[in-house]
Structure 1
Amino acid sequence: MTTQQTVEHKYVYDFAEGNKDLKDLLGGKGANLAEMTRLGLPVPPGFTITTEACKAYLETGAEPAGLADQIAAHLAALEREMGRRLGDPDDPLLVSVRSGAKFSMPGMMETVLNVGLNDRSVEGLARQAGGSTDPATSGGSSAPAGGGDRFAWDSYRRLIQMFGKTVCEVPGEEFEHALDEAKRARGTSDDLDLDATDLRGLVDAYKKIFREHTGREFPQDPRVQLDLAVRAVFESWNAERAVVYRRQERIPADLGTAVNVVAMVFGNLGPDSGTGVAFTRDPASGAQGIYGDYLANAQGEDVVAGIRNTVPLQELARIDKDSYDELLDYMARLERHYRDLCDIEFTIERGKLWMLQTRVGKRTAAAAFVIAGQLVDEGLIDLDEALHRVNGAQLAQLMFPRFQLDHDIQPVATGIGASPGAAVGKVVFTSARAVELAAQGEAVILVRRETNPDDLNGMIAAQGILTSRGGKTSHAAVVARGMGKTCVSGADELDIDVPKRRFAVAGRTVTEGDVVSIDGTTGKVYLGEVPVSPSEVVRYFEGEVDPASTDDALVVAVHRIMSHADAHRRLAVRTNADTAADAARARRFGAEGIGLCRTEHMFLGDRRELVERLILAREAGEREKALAALLPLQRADFVDLFREMDGLPITVRLIDPPLHEFLPPLEQLAVDVAVAQERGEDVAKEEALLAAVRRMHEENPMLGLRGVRLGLVIPGLFAMQVRAIVEAAVESAKGGGDPKPEIMVPLVGAVQELETVRAEAERIIAEVTRERAVDVLIGTMIEVPRAALTAGQIAEAAEFFSFGTNDLTQMGWGFSRDDVEGAFFWRYLELGIFGISPFESIDADGIGRLVRIATEEGRAARPGLKIGICGEHGGDPESVHFFHAVGLDYVSCSPFRVPVARLEAGRAAVVTTGSDSR
């Protein structure tokens, strides 16, 4: 290989050559080992094989040209620095081979320790450690031996076990069986009771297992051990558990892992040795102090295995004061350098402190906000960086109540955590019963096989919703999230019998009135009442906690960061609200208007009969009577909304869903009519209703007579709604209010549809506002792909666009969100076709492109066109960043998600250079 080729394809870096900014190349672990080395901290020497080498190996199945020579050169340099050679029989250098991707993937990839041990070097290791390999001097078989003998043979058996399982796919239980047999022979259940003779015999047993499963002897050549271990780490990037973890955490699959080869240091050489983990702040609460654990005379794997109980890190001050003081100094230096909470692993080898790893530590959502605020106070970061260090998902976690599971309580079922939170209440099986008991002051959990629009009142009344069918995008899930209600869906272990008002689970029967507790974060269902803690953060958003006077560090931090987000965000945040109560709560949470008021929700409950009359009307006079009865009810609803959102815009969507949704199901109605006829009952009204249902029945109603099509086909329907909106606005203005109505026409696919509705709406607006002027905007919901692709034409007749990304996603992908999640989404996620459901986070490449096209062409036709989004994606953190980048004016989401959208809109506007948002 030429010098030029070596420069172009540098696959190996000594720690002194890297730094913390090279995570893409050296992985997180390698970059941080390099950074600590540059800072002068005591890091065991070593080198890192880059992610580029891994990617080349995975692409071709072979090591890239030049890698072997580079490893040899860096290994020789390591041997010179340590004064030992890898696997030397007299004074062996041993190394660990560890994975280390850009993003932490704990336990997902492979590690091999003690590489370099063989039948000869084990003797040299024993002498290094201060012992003899002669069994006659190693303590005999009557008691466990101490010193170097036991240490050396234990290290050797660990290498064979780890190497066999990791590198050669020898079943791990084979080694475990041999270890158990050795302990039985010794008459103990503790590994530590095995002496050097026992462990020497265990090495022989392990070698035999290795030979039987691989067909070859355990490799004695230290360089062969090293090369095979490196390859095993490369290959572990595509191990099933690593792939699943990356999908879960949305880590790109093409990053590859680096490999760190590090000189071994040992914490199990006696009482003056040990190992530990330290945090520069409490990762659970963010509180400042000394946090961590220490275990004397042990290796890191012993801490993980729980062989012995650790002691608090502060105990190290008593055990080894010099090492403790040195560690505290390094912790302070690292925190100042990284400007963040640091997670540190260390080993003390015979009084010498070694720093094995550091990284920006993982933390709870609460700690993330608290620590960000603290670091601002300490001058280590500014508020822009603090805003970058937290995210909307963390804020959402802080807003939900939680169960206090401090006693032994087991779930009886587990479904899908569809809407986070903790809810406790009496089981009810109908919406009416939920409303009835809630009115009496009872907390209830509405239990259904699945929910539908008829259940809305019960869902509002309930503390939580539990279904045996559906997923994260089912009706129950979407509506519950919109209301901030806890929901567990798809708990198929429940055998629900609605008529008998009971369900069976885990061999028990739960009847109406029994108490259950549901966890919308984990999806777990508990029988009985589990204690719940309220969220102080929600109390703050509700105005019940004053951040200026509270001593709650979390509330203070949230207030400070939210204020900074609001001061910098460009995107306005509105809410999806259909009732005055929802509007009021959203405004308290910081909503700047209503981006979606769904008028169809105003037709439920006791108004359903009026809708039936409208549908059944055969003559214009009957239809007009039904519309006249609905008008004052709609107007009163809008008056309430204008009052709560005074001075802020309210986008009212004219009725959208197919009218048959307001009628009984065809099959059930047909059965009821047939049974009544059989009894000789008068069923004239029911027969008329059945005929109407049959007349309106559609095979695919979501692509049928709905939205603007209803307004064009049923005379007077949209006119009644427009009149109600404008009359309510005029009434509000006369009372001293400042109404800002925006009328949104749904499901428009052609500009001619909008022009027709607009002409009628303008005539009504002009008539109603003769005495009192009120500005009324008319726009459309872009939810049909054709509308997005002809946005330039539609903008000629629209004063605003609002993207209905739920339907746009359905129509763009060609599947129904109500049907596909349970049918095949799990398989798509498993195969990596979806990283996440496109109903949860915007499909930027496909549906997002439609949004971008419509935005650009709409504004080209009408400069200054106001554009927002009112689908579920309006409260999704990643989607908010996309909408900011596209240039939308606002996002709209459920009331409970308004603070999340505010935070993410601020984060999208504040770009922190050089910071990693993960």
Structure 2
Amino acid sequence: MTASDITTADRPLVLEFHEGDRTMAELLGGKGAGLAEMTRLGLPVPPGFIVTTDACRAFLAAGGDPEGLWDQVDTALAELEQRSGLTLGDPERPLLVSVRSGAKFSMPGMMETVLNIGLNDEVVAALTERGEAHFAWDSYRRLGQMYGRTVLGVEGARFDDLLTRARADAGVATDAELDVAHLQRLAHDFRAIIVEETGKELPQDPRIQLREAVRAVFRSWNGERARLYRAHEGIPDDLGTAVNVVQMVFGNRGERSGSGVCFTRNPVTGEAGPFGDYLPDAQGEDVVSGVRSPMDLSELHRRDPEIDAELSRHLEALERHYRDLCDVEFTVERGRLWILQTRLGKRSPAAAFRIASELTDEGVIDLDEALTRVNGHQLTTLLHPSFGVGEAAPLATGLAASPGAAVGQLVFDAATAMEWAALGRDVVLARPETSPDDFGGLLAAKAVITSRGGLTSHAAVVARGLGKTAVTGIEVMAVDPAARVATFHGDHVLREGTVVSVDGSSGELFEGSREIQASVVATAIQQASPQAPRETSDAAGQPVDPTARAVLRLLEHADKTRTMGVRANAETPEEARAARRFGAEGIGLCRTEHMLMGPRRQLVERVVTDEDAAGALAEIEATALDEFTTLLTVMEGLPVVVRLLDPPLHEFLPDLVDLSVDAAVTAAKGEAADPVAEKRLAAVRRLHEANPMLGLRGVRLLLVHPEVAEVQVRALAEAVARLVGQGRDVRPEVMLPLVAEVAELTAARERLEAVIAEVGAKHGRTVDIPVGVMIELPRAALTAADLAAHADFFSFGTNDLTQTTWGISRDDAEASFLALYREQGIIAIDPFESLDEVGVGALVRTAVEQGRRTRPDLELGVCGEHAGDPASIGFFAAAGIDYLSCSPPRVPVARLEAGRQAVLTAGAHPTSDTR
């Protein structure tokens, strides 16, 4: 395949800003589309052009430059020179440009940037002669550092070490304070490192600099950190990145210059009003990298009220235009404001809900669109616990960069974070500041803390996007990754492995482990139930917390909008009550095996070994009657689906090895064998299976050893008859697991209905208990038309359906190879976390279509873990599922996502993507 095969013949590889708009993100990347849109709006955007994603895909496919690319770049560059009145490489009127990546979806810090392209010895000399020596040498050392690392692959630490030594030698705290002599020495030393490491010089020809920088950005699309980020965020690998070539404007050009990153609203809390960081006399990379701690954006008003007022006008215009939170980068050069980038801003989950709700109040969007602005993953984060009130003073306080609470052991590099997390240890990653190379560690850690950086630093932005707790800018903390220690207040040392507690909502860090409590949002959701007291409500009956108010409002709208019901998986009365408090509309899965676990295992053992089987069955029935009665009473008025025994029989019996050892020891001692022990051993040997997960379980157990299941059904029918006799509205259903053949269903149903009829006759009333099938085998899905003729409902057990479709044990695969498969890109997601729509999903669709063809009113549910997975719920909605059933704490997530999917399916409001 050649590059020309990839590119679209009628589409240029290079476009100027005025030729694009916000709808062209797939071709221009998000950053390029934003620059084009702002240019159309008349905002002060430096001129430039965009090398498209077509060019990147062609470059990567062919391993070389697409035909005609550089001719188009040269044409666009000539136009840029004419617009700016400057010329690339001209010492008298030099044009300098930045070369930045920009994919369709935001990938902060995951790809490359090179600034100050166009500087060389002649240009620097000319600038120095004109009295701009500090600016010239500061910019030249930046070019050497970024070009060496990004284009030529020199290890970034080599440049960083020299910078650190230069600051120490000059006795200054920041790079901006270095004098001309130190900057000049750094520029020369950086160039020497490049030659030493690569055998190449920093090019003096600016056009070579430009071409090599563009190629480096293309290559960075397939860099390790970019691939890891895309895998986590679900971004396709085949999109490619655009490259933005923009005239440089300089925030490092004196006192009335600076750079900033800001948001039109607070991305942490959602509070209205501009929010961000500003660094005087600095280039933009200084703000986001965290190498210097910036000042709050509000300081800009004090320093330069005219610039602040102009910036505020542009922020208001952008939010009105995009109708959402905007993330904006800007530079001030000698008192002139330039807007360098805008995109929909990444936001914390709390901010997402609050902003969506308040934009509705402001009439910017309606409730349907507000629902598409949030998602189940964000709500999952808000339902996480937080720290309780404690008396201990924090060890240190920084900036509350990403909310939440986390406890873990300190680690000081990404590799250790990933290694310890893989061993099941909770870790907190501590760094001076993070860089894109730390992404794997950020992904593995429960929280990240940094000594430098602001609320828009790399650590803050990435942590918010990942839903991780983060505290940045802890100035009293000095992190030494080499020594693996963090020192606080100059003398308090914490070594690697020390347990700390991080509060990303307050910015506090505590030594030791703190108690964690339920979230305000989770509490508010539960108290919204009519049965619960409203202790955290104001006089109007609404939660005081603005995020909780927003969540309840959007949940209420989701409930009105969704077409799928939401039930819970629950067995105990406590779980059932929790399910109702979280808004469940019934129980979609009550596992009867829980009644026979723990000490009650001996009851099953007595049945299969015929040790007073009648007495054991009587105890099982009595236990089941008591538990079913309580459960149905708690869930009065709502359906309760009772699944008959599903686990393999061996899970209820003693271990064969233990029994065999006991028998061997008895024989070795010459003692007489215990007849009961012998009988038990014989029974366990008879029932032993090499692969019990595919053996005697589910409906098979009911047909081969029917007595245990029959007494449970009798107990259920008895509970129903008694409660109905008391005037209660109870709605039980029975589900048969692991059905593969219609004859299994008809034979089992005949047995069950005989038991139910017997109980009804005893009470002189009809006991109505629908009987359904759990679809968890491929054969059941493929023969669903036959099953539907004899089943009152289907419920998809997607855990086992995934297991039997893939031929993978869900208990063993993650530890053995699934994680490696994900790392190697063999699979994009764990099929036990999010539904495999291609394979397992095809079986679900087949069963839905066949079942409904036989019986149009067939009720369809999903009761596997996927029912609470936001990424899978959209598929279930499209497939025609009637209800979801998940664990009680995930019920609000399913409610929200089901409503959101209903709006998206209607097509009126395409979702905003803030990835």
Shorter-normalised TM range: 0.7 to 0.9
Q: 1:681 to 1:558 in 2, by over 3 A?
A: farther
Name the structure 2 match of 1:781: 774
**1:476 maps to which residue?**
none
Cα deviation for residue 790 of structure 1 reads 0.9
SS, match of residue 22 in structure 1: helix
Residues 1:916 and 2:912 are matched in the alignment: yes
1:665 lines up with 2:655 in the alignment: yes
In structure 2, what is the equivalent of residue 567 of structure 1?
560
TM, length-normalised to structure 2: 0.83
- Partner residue of 1:686? 677
Cα distance change, pair 718–670 in 1 and its aligned pair in 2 (3 A) = same
| 1:181 to partner: Cα distance | 6.1
Q: Distance in 2 between matches of 1:305 and 1:715?
A: 67
Q: Which residue number in structure 1 is paired with residue 820 of structure 2? A: 827
Mapped partners of 1:806, 1:526: distance in 2: 39
For residue 213 of structure 1, report the CA deviation from its aligned partner: 3.3
Provide the residue aligned with 2:487 in structure 1.
none
Give the letter for the 2:21 counterpart: N
In 2: Cα distance, 1:558 partner to 1:689 partner: 56
Once the two structures are TM-superposed, the CA of residue 893 in structure 1 deviates from its matched residue by: 0.5
**SS of equivalent to 1:763:** helix
Counterpart in the other structure of 1:764: 755
Q: How much does 1:325 deviate? A: 0.5
AA in 1 matched with 2:781: A
Cα distance change, pair 655–177 in 1 and its aligned pair in 2 (3 A): closer
Deviation at 1:108, TM superposition (A): 0.9
| Corresponding residue pairs, total | 804
Q: 1:281–1:291: 8 Å Cα contact kept in structure 2?
A: yes
Alpha-carbon distance between aligned partners in 2 of 1:542 and 1:767, rounded to the nearest angstrom: 40
Q: In structure 2, the residue corresponding to 1:120 is in which secondary structure? A: helix
| Residue identity (%) | 54
How far apart, CA to CA, are the structure 1 residues paired with 2:114 and 2:730? 69
**What is the CA-CA distance between 1:247 and the residue it aligns to?**
1.1
Letter in 1 for 2:198: T
Equivalent residue number for residue 632 of structure 1: 622
Q: Which amino acid aligns with 1:274?
A: G
Q: Matched residues in 2 for 1:247 and 1:659: separation?
A: 39
SS of the residue aligned with 2:747? helix
Instruction: From the superposition, tell whether residues 634 and 418 of structure 1 become closer, same or farther in structure 2 (CA, over 3 Å).
Output: farther
Secondary structure of 1:592 counterpart: coil
Alignment of 1:66-77 (within 5 A): 66-77=68-79
Give the 5 Å matches for 1:535-550.
Answer: 535-543=519-527, 544-545=533-534, 546=537, 548-550=541-543
Corresponding position of 1:26: 28
In structure 2, distance between residues paired with 1:232 and 1:412: 35
Equivalent in 53, 56, 63 of residue 55 of structure 2: 53
Paired residues of 2:720 and 2:730 also in contact (CA < 8 A):
yes
2-side partners of 1:846 and 1:95: how far apart? Answer: 48
Separation of aligned partners in 2, 1:190 and 1:398? 37
Read off the aligned partner of 2:817 and give its amino acid letter.
F
CA contact (8 A) 1:26 1:48 kept: yes
Letter in 2 for 1:718: A
Q: Call closer, same or farther: CA 1:419–1:636 in 2, change over 3 Å.
A: farther
Q: 1:750 to 1:13 in 2, by over 3 A?
A: same
Going from structure 1 to structure 2, the CA distance change for 1:644 and 1:421 (only over 3 Å counts) comes to farther
| Offset of residue 165 of structure 1 | 1.5
Is the CA contact 1:41–1:355 (under 8 Å) kept in the aligned structure 2? yes
Q: Scaled by the length of structure 1, what TM-score is found?
A: 0.83
Paired residue for 2:395?
Answer: 407
> How many Å apart are 1:338 and its aligned residue?
1.3
The 5 A counterparts of 1:814-893 are: 814-893=807-886
Give the direction of change, closer, same or farther, for the CA distance of 1:518–1:859 in structure 2 (3 Å limit): farther
1:512 corresponds to which residue?
none
Residues 333 and 187 of structure 1: is their aligned pair in 2 closer, same or farther, counting only changes over 3 Å?
closer
Per-residue deviation at 1:531? 3.8
Give, in angstroms, the shift of residue 182 of structure 1.
5.4
CA distance in 2, matches of 1:421, 1:83: 54
Uncovered stretches (5+) of structure 2, i.e. residues with no partner: 397-406, 412-419, 429-494, 528-532
Q: CA RMSD in A?
A: 3.0
Q: CA deviation at 1:344?
A: 1.4
By how many angstroms is 1:349 displaced? 0.4
1:308-387 matched pairs, under 5 angstroms: 308-387=292-371
Residue number in structure 2 paired with 1:615: 608
Partner of 2:472: none
| Alpha-carbon offset, residue 112 of structure 1 | 0.4
Match of 1:36 among 31, 35, 38: 38
- Partners of 2:237 and 2:830 lie apart in 1 by 18
Paired AA for residue 866 in structure 1: E
- Give the Cα–Cα distance (whole angstroms) in 1 for the partners of residues 212 and 544 of structure 2: 56
Aligned counterpart in structure 2 of residue 87 of structure 1, from 76, 89, 101: 89
* Alpha-carbon distance between aligned partners in 1 of 2:724 and 2:788, rounded to the nearest angstrom: 29
| Deviating more after overlay: 167-176 vs 357-366 | 167-176
**How far 1:596 sits from its partner (Å)?**
0.7
SS of the aligned residue for 2:268 comes to: coil
- Contact kept, 8 Å, 1:92 with 1:125, in 2: the verdict is no
2:903–2:909 contact (8 Å) kept in structure 1: no
Q: Name the structure 2 match of 1:210.
A: 194
CA distance in 1, matches of 2:591, 2:42: 63
> Structure 2 matches for 1:553-564, cutoff 5 A?
553-564=546-557
Where 1:801 maps in the other structure, the secondary structure is strand
**Aligned with 2:209: secondary structure?**
helix
The one of 236, 248, 252 equivalent to 1:264 is 248
Letter of the structure 2 residue corresponding to residue 24 of structure 1: E
Work out the CA distance in 1 between the residues paired with 2:152 and 2:496: 45
Contact 2:410 2:427 in 1 (8 A): no
Among 694, 715, 734, which residue is 1:743 paired with? Answer: 734
Q: How does 1:888-899 map to 2 (within 5 A)?
A: 888-899=881-892
The 5-angstrom pairing of residues 643-722 of structure 1 reads: 643-675=633-665, 683-722=674-713
Asked if the contact 2:410/2:500 (under 8 Å) is kept, the reply is no
- Cα contact 1:597–1:651 (8 A) shared by 2: yes
1:542 counterpart SS class: helix
Cα deviation for residue 307 of structure 1 reads 5.1
1:635 shift after superposition? 1.6
Q: Aligned equivalents of 1:527 and 1:601: distance in 2?
A: 40
Deviation at 1:592, TM superposition (A): 1.1
Which SS does the other structure have where 1:411 is aligned?
Answer: strand
CA contact (8 A) 1:58 1:235 kept: yes
Offset at residue 406 of structure 1 (A): 4.3
Deviation at 1:175, TM superposition (A): 3.5
After TM superposition, the structure 1 = structure 2 runs for residues 486-497 of structure 1, keeping only pairs within 5 Å, are none
Contact 1:624 1:716 in 2 (8 A): no
Which residue in 1 is equivalent to 2:465?
Answer: none
The reply to whether residue 291 of structure 1 matches residue 278 of structure 2 is: no
Cα distance change, pair 671–687 in 1 and its aligned pair in 2 (3 A) = same
Task: Please tell me the residue identity of whatever aligns with 2:849.
Answer: E
Structure 1 residue ranges without an equivalent (≥5): 132-147, 423-505, 510-514
Bigger drift between 198-207 and 714-723 goes to: 198-207
The letter of the residue matching 1:747 is L
Q: Distance in 2 between matches of 1:420 and 1:898?
A: 26
Distance, in Å, in 2 between the alignment partners of 1:360 and 1:315 is 24
Q: Is the 8 A contact 1:654 1:746 kept in 2?
A: yes
| Mapped pair 1:793 → 2:786 | yes
SS of residue paired to 1:97: strand
Q: Structure 2: how far apart are the matches of 1:6 and 1:690?
A: 72
